[in-house]
């Protein structure tokens, strides 16, 4: 769960940086939540992620949390790619 929470934090941070640099949210669900405000929308989406992880553990499905960890690691990598692309495009 420590990895899960660390990944959630990194996802919020990289998403906020990307949004600040002009990136758009790819998820329709999170995109609609962002209408409430970037921080508010992301925190609500993280509450859903935590509920999903807690339900998986309650139903003794720890592999779901492992899957979620991989999923969020890929999302963070995508966010970092988007940030680096924006930085290189800005410098050109």
Tens-digit pLDDT profile for residues 21-60: 988 998 999 999 999 999 999 999 999 999 999 999 999 9
What lies within 8 Å, CB to CB, of 69 at 6+ separation is 3, 4, 7
Domain locations along the chain: 2-91
Residue 44's Cβ-side half-sphere holds a number of Cα atoms within 13 Å equal to 13
pLDDT above 90 coverage of the chain, percent: 87
The model's pTM is 0.90
Measured at the CA of 40, the angle between CA 55 and CA 29, to 5 degrees, comes to: 60
CA distance 37 to 84: 24
């Amino acid at each position: 769960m420590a990895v899960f929470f660390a990944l959630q934090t990194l996802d919020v941070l990289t998403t906020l940086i990307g949004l600040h640099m002009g990136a758009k949210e790819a998820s329709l669900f999170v995109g609609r939540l962002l209408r409430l405000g970037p921080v508010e929308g992301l925190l609500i989406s993280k509450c859903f992620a935590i509920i999903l992880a807690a339900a998986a553990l309650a139903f003794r499905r720890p592999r779901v949390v492992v899957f979620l960890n991989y999923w969020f690691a890929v999302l963070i990598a995508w966010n970092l790619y988007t940030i680096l692309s924006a930085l290189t495009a800005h410098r050109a």
